[in-house]
Structure 1
Amino acid sequence: MEELIAKYLADEMGAEERSKFEEQLLLDEQLSNEVQKTTAAWEISGRTNQPPSLNLNTPQAWEKVAQQTTKQRSLVAEKGRFSFLKIAASIAFIAALGYIGWQNIAQKTTAEQLATVASSGEIKELTLPDGTSVKLNAFSTVSYDEDFGKTNRNISLTGAANFDVVRNESLPFVISTENSEVEVLGTSFEVRAYEAEAVEVNVSSGKVGFRSKKAKGEEQVLEAGEKAVLSADGTKMVRDKVRNKNYAAWWTRELIFENARMSEVARDLEKTYWVKIEVAEDIRDCRISQNVKDKSLDEALEILEATFPSMTISRVKENRIKLDGVGCTH
Structure 2
Amino acid sequence: MNKDIDNEILARYLSGESTVEGKKTVEEWLRSNPQNAKVINVLKTIWENAKVTSDPSDVQSLWEELQQKDGITESSEDTNAKTIRLKNENRFFSIFKPTTGQVLRYAAVFIILMLLPYFVYQYITSDKSGSTSDWKSLTVAYGDQSGITLEDGTKITLDAGSTIQYPEHFPNQNREVKLNGEAFFDVTHNPNKPFIVKTNNTKVKVLGTQFNIRSWEENKVEVIVADGKVSFSSEKNRSETVILERGFASELSPEGIPINPYSIDLDKSFSWMKGEITFSNTKLSEVLNQVERWYDITIILLDSGVGNEKVSVFIQKHSLDETLKLITALIDSKYEKNGKTITFSPR
Q: What TM-score do you get using the length of structure 1 for normalisation?
A: 0.55
Which residue does the alignment assign to 1:298? 321
- Largest Rg, 1 or 2: 1
The code of the aligned residue for 1:297 comes to L
In the alignment, the residues of structure 2 paired with residue 232 and residue 221 of structure 1 have an alpha-carbon distance, to the nearest angstrom, of: 19
Instruction: Tell me the CA shift for residue 319 of structure 1.
Output: 5.1
Task: Figure out how many residues of one structure are paired with residues of the other and give that number.
Answer: 246
Say if 2:154 and 2:186, in contact at 8 Å, map to a contact too. Answer: yes
For the structure 1 residues 31 and 218, does the alpha-carbon distance in structure 2 shift closer, same or farther, using more than 3 Å as the test? closer
Residue 27 of structure 1 aligns to a residue whose secondary structure is helix
The code of the aligned residue for 1:240 comes to Y
Say if 2:292 and 2:299, in contact at 8 Å, map to a contact too. Answer: no
For the structure 1 residues 191 and 2, does the alpha-carbon distance in structure 2 shift closer, same or farther, using more than 3 Å as the test? closer
Residue 321 of structure 2 aligns to a residue whose secondary structure is helix
Say if 1:183 and 1:210, in contact at 8 Å, map to a contact too. Answer: yes
For the structure 1 residues 216 and 295, does the alpha-carbon distance in structure 2 shift closer, same or farther, using more than 3 Å as the test? same
The code of the aligned residue for 2:335 comes to S
The code of the aligned residue for 1:188 comes to Q
Q: Which runs of 5+ in 1 are unaligned?
A: 6-12, 33-54, 71-109, 326-330
Which residue does the alignment assign to 2:140? 119
The code of the aligned residue for 1:193 comes to S
Q: What TM-score do you get using the length of structure 2 for normalisation?
A: 0.52
Instruction: Tell me the CA shift for residue 117 of structure 1.
Output: 1.9
Which residue does the alignment assign to 2:264? 242
**Correspondent of 1:181 among 178, 195, 203:** 203
Say if 2:190 and 2:208, in contact at 8 Å, map to a contact too. Answer: yes
Instruction: Tell me the CA shift for residue 134 of structure 1.
Output: 1.1
For the structure 1 residues 236 and 135, does the alpha-carbon distance in structure 2 shift closer, same or farther, using more than 3 Å as the test? closer
Instruction: Tell me the CA shift for residue 27 of structure 1.
Output: 3.2
How far does the alpha carbon of each residue in 1:101-145 deviate from its partner, in whole angstroms, 9 at most, with x for none?
A: xxxxxxxxx823222222332333211111111122333322233
Which residue does the alignment assign to 1:44? none
Mean Cα deviation higher: 202-211 or 229-238: 229-238
In the alignment, the residues of structure 1 paired with residue 34 and residue 181 of structure 2 have an alpha-carbon distance, to the nearest angstrom, of: 24
The code of the aligned residue for 1:299 comes to E
In the alignment, the residues of structure 2 paired with residue 192 and residue 206 of structure 1 have an alpha-carbon distance, to the nearest angstrom, of: 18
For the structure 1 residues 16 and 298, does the alpha-carbon distance in structure 2 shift closer, same or farther, using more than 3 Å as the test? same
Q: Which runs of 5+ in 2 are unaligned?
A: 6-10, 16-22, 37-84, 92-115
Residue 167 of structure 1 aligns to a residue whose secondary structure is coil
Say if 1:213 and 1:234, in contact at 8 Å, map to a contact too. Answer: no
**Correspondent of 2:230 among 208, 212, 233:** 208
Which residue does the alignment assign to 2:335? 314
Which residue does the alignment assign to 1:28? 32
Residue 194 of structure 1 aligns to a residue whose secondary structure is strand
How far does the alpha carbon of each residue in 1:45-100 deviate from its partner, in whole angstroms, 9 at most, with x for none?
A: xxxxxxxxxx9956999999999999xxxxxxxxxxxxxxxxxxxxxxxxxxxxxx
Which residue does the alignment assign to 2:216? 194
Instruction: Tell me the CA shift for residue 174 of structure 1.
Output: 0.7
The code of the aligned residue for 2:232 comes to F
Residue 176 of structure 1 aligns to a residue whose secondary structure is strand
Instruction: Tell me the CA shift for residue 152 of structure 1.
Output: 2.4
For the structure 1 residues 265 and 225, does the alpha-carbon distance in structure 2 shift closer, same or farther, using more than 3 Å as the test? farther
In the alignment, the residues of structure 1 paired with residue 231 and residue 157 of structure 2 have an alpha-carbon distance, to the nearest angstrom, of: 20
**Correspondent of 2:246 among 224, 227, 231:** 224
The code of the aligned residue for 1:192 comes to R
How far does the alpha carbon of each residue in 1:163-187 deviate from its partner, in whole angstroms, 9 at most, with x for none?
A: 1112222221111123111011222
Instruction: Tell me the CA shift for residue 220 of structure 1.
Output: 0.8
Percent identical? 29
| 1:1-330 correspondence runs (5 A) | 27-28=31-32, 111-113=131-133, 114-121=135-142, 122-148=144-170, 151-215=173-237, 217-231=239-253, 234-235=256-257, 237-242=259-264, 246-255=268-277, 267-268=286-287, 270-274=289-293, 293-302=316-325, 312-315=333-336, 318=340, 320=342, 322=344
For the structure 1 residues 321 and 25, does the alpha-carbon distance in structure 2 shift closer, same or farther, using more than 3 Å as the test? closer
In the alignment, the residues of structure 2 paired with residue 206 and residue 169 of structure 1 have an alpha-carbon distance, to the nearest angstrom, of: 13
How far does the alpha carbon of each residue in 1:1-25 deviate from its partner, in whole angstroms, 9 at most, with x for none?
A: 89899xxxxxxx9x959xx999777
In the alignment, the residues of structure 2 paired with residue 23 and residue 112 of structure 1 have an alpha-carbon distance, to the nearest angstrom, of: 26
